[in-house]
Amino acid sequence: MQSRVSLGALALLAQVPQDIARDNADVAAIARIAGNPEDLETLDAYCATGSLRRAADLLHLHHSSVARRLEQIAKTLGIELTEPTGLIRAGLALTAWRLLDD
């Protein structure tokens, strides 16, 4: 996990009251997928790279396997991960969720 210092402006999310962050639909959806480490790892790799193939390389998986995982994750999150706005939403929600664990 990244420290707050390395998050830069994303560390501003730490100033959001935790109850409000937990109640956010996107953060709550991340909490639901967090029970499956493979899904969390896949989403993290995709958000970090912004690319299906680079995420697959990072995870040492075939890109079609990662695509299937992301399709299911997107359904669970209710976020279109292939759209730039969806990728940003997922990344922000993932960061906000991680900050709740501090």
Question: Looking at residue 34, which CATH number applies to its domain?
Answer: 1.10.10.2840
pLDDT at 56: 97
Mean pLDDT score of the chain: 91
How many independent structural domains does the chain possess? Answer: 1
Whether pTM exceeds 0.75: yes
* Measured distance CA(47)–CA(26) in Å, rounded: 14
Range of the domain at 47: 4-100
- DSSP letter, residue 36: S
Percent of the chain scored above 70 by pLDDT?
92
- Taking alpha carbons only, the member of 8, 29, 16, 9 closest to residue 99 is 16
pLDDT at 37: 94
56-85 pLDDT per residue, tens: 999 999 999 999 999 999 999 999 999 999
pLDDT at 26 over 60: yes
* Measured distance CA(51)–CA(54) in Å, rounded: 5
pLDDT at 101: 64
Residues 6+ apart with CB under 8 A from 93: 24, 26, 27, 29, 30, 77
